[in-house]
Amino acid sequence: MSTDAILSFEEAMEKYDPVLGFEVHVELNTKTKMFSSAPNVFGDEPNTNVNEVDLGMPGVLPVVNKTAVESSIKIGLALNCKIAESCRFARKNYFYPDTPKNFQTSQYDEPIAYDGYLDIELSDGTVFRVEIERAHMEEDAGKLTHMGGATGRIQGADYSLVDYNRSGVPLVEIVTKPIEGAGSRAPELAKAYVAAVREIVKNLGVSDAKMERGNVRCDANVSLRPHGRERFGIRSETKNVNSLRAVEHAVRYEIQRHAAVLDSGEPVIQETRHWHEDTRTTTSGRAKSDADDYRYFPEPDPRSGPGIPRMVEELRATLPEPPAARRKRLQADWGYSDLEFRDVVNAGVMDSIEETIAAGASASVARKWWMGEIVGRAKTADVDPSELGVTPETIVELNKLVEGGKINNKMASQVLDGVLAGEGTPARSSRSAASRSCPTTAPCWKRSTPHWRPSPTLRRRSAAARFRPSVRSSAES
């Protein structure tokens, strides 16, 4: 595990300016793979969704997946990119067990989309423009699982298993230009940028966008330069970061590590790094040159080009409402103030609130539950709110219990805890909460007595009268 020295983030920012760059890999949710008819399905038994094209058998002829091309164009348009009138594939040559052909079919000098931008809104409403260099199509590699060893990495492993189900799955790689001027907000910008890309591809319907499944993966590049210097520093590239929080923490850690190296007088090594979520540190992967010699050359088999201009205009007309426009519309519909809506977006519960409103709750009720109850519990558990498993239907049912007078707000909070603990629906959890507060071994009035402190005068009167609670007979009731 990492033993690198690091500087405090504040000290690093006093001396250096960070420069960022991101390569976001988006898996497309096509039914079949990029160049073959093999199914594109997540979670199937290893090596069951492969065919002769994926394995690079002699004599096979790959055919471009038209839906993948259409999805790539949609992504390019959503990123405000120019779309190439024609494009071609290239062979990226490298030798590794997860690539049975010994090359990856990608794009090099003729990507399908280029020269775009994405405006990113930060937590305080500041808008930061990230320029996109290109978005290109390629196929994914297989998946290696390293067995034995302590880290799950190839170093120290006893052996490795390879699953080619993912080999050939369509990918779009989105590459930014160098991002300057973020300063101390660089980690926040990193998280916000990847979140925005994920939101776009999910909104387009071209990817499932589940980072935990690897549908969206980020390579985060970080370099530092002293204040006032124009020339970029040496960069590191943290590979395959697969959660928003991890992107933020990885960028922050690399800034601190680079600053410590520069302060020591040692040169920063240009290399790939691996992120470790348990320690929130990175470790060295391999040295990386400015331009790795992949010996790209044009792919002679699959081509994609002649019909692109016609496809662009047809697809442009089908694009859904952009996420930024959707946010403005939802804020107006819900009647939230700028601060209230920004808090909702920053907490990551905008979609959940929309679904809760669709399930029957009012905008104010949905916000009360998600922001007042669920977000706090998620922070305590150090997870995203979506990971708690609370559904919109749960919120609607819970609120009906409160509005119907069956439980009060305090008990509603306990009921929600019960739901999260696996006690079932709010109705069932409310019965459990009631039984806990009023056990059968003692009357409820006795259980509630410690919460009520009568005045000394009333206690004396009660003692003098030898007050006892009356219980009506069944005939009286």
The residue range of the domain holding 346 is 323-437
Task: Report the number of distinct structural domains present in the chain.
Answer: 2
Q: What is the DSSP letter of 39?
A: B
Report yes or no: 270 and 254 within 8 Å, Cβ to Cβ: no
State pLDDT tens for residues 45-62: 999 999 999 999 999 999
End-to-end C-alpha distance for the chain, whole angstroms: 71
Per-residue pLDDT averaged across 255-277, rounded?
95
- CA distance linking residue 455 with residue 80, whole number of Å: 71
**Residue 361 shares a structural domain with residue 242:** no
When pLDDT is cut at 50, 70 and 90, the band that residue 2 belongs to is: low
Residue 390 is assigned to a structural domain of this protein? yes
249/341 same-domain check: no
In 3D space, the residue among 23, 21, 28, 392 whose CA is nearest the CA of residue 209 turns out to be 28
The SS3 of residue 167 is coil
Q: Is the pLDDT of residue 302 over 80?
A: no
Question: pLDDT tier at 290 (50, 70, 90 boundaries)?
Answer: low
What's the pLDDT band for 292 if we cut at 50, 70, 90? low
Q: Are residues 307 and 329 in the same domain?
A: no
Q: What is the mean pLDDT of residues 74-96?
A: 94
Residues 13 and 129 in one domain: yes
Dist. CA 65–CA 36, nearest whole Å: 8
Domain closes at, from 265, 284, 316 = 316
Q: Is the dihedral of CA 72, 79, 272, 28 positive or negative?
A: negative
Whether 397 is in a domain gets the answer yes
Among 293, 316, 339, the domain boundary falls at 316
Nearest CA to 120 out of 14, 247, 33 is that of 247
**Residue 36 in domain:** yes
| 214 and 100 in a common domain | yes
Tell me the average pLDDT across 459-466.
48
Same domain, 330 and 219: no
Q: Region 388-414: what's the mean pLDDT?
A: 90
Q: Quick one: which H or E segment has residue 357?
A: helix 350-358
Could you tell me how far CA 120 lies from the centroid of its own chain? 15
**Do residues 228 and 343 share a domain?**
no
Mark whether 58 and 192 lie in a shared domain.
yes
467 located within any domain:
no
Residues 85 and 148 both lie in one domain: yes
Is the residue at 377 inside a domain? yes
* Rounded CA separation 55/99 (Å): 8
Is residue 153 situated within a structural domain?
yes
Q: Is residue 462 part of a domain?
A: no
Give the pLDDT confidence of 122-160 residue by residue, as tens digits: 988 899 999 999 999 999 999 999 898 766 677 778 899
Q: How much is the pLDDT for 98?
A: 93
Same domain, 238 and 287: yes
- 474 band by pLDDT with thresholds 50, 70 and 90: very low
Indicate whether 392 and 428 sit together in one domain: yes
Question: Between 291 and 326, whose confidence is greater?
Answer: 326
Q: pLDDT: is 288 or 390 the higher one?
A: 390
Residue 445, domain member (yes or no): no
Q: Which residue stretches of 122-185 are H helix?
A: none
Query: Are both 86 and 37 inside the same structural domain?
Result: yes
Instruction: Report, as an integer, the average pLDDT of 101-124.
Output: 94
Any residues with CB less than 8 A from the CB of 396 and at least 6 apart, and which?
Answer: 356, 359, 360, 361
* DSSP states along 385-439: GGGG---HHHHHHHHHHHHTTSS-HHHHHHHHHHHHTT--SHHHHHHHHHHHHS-
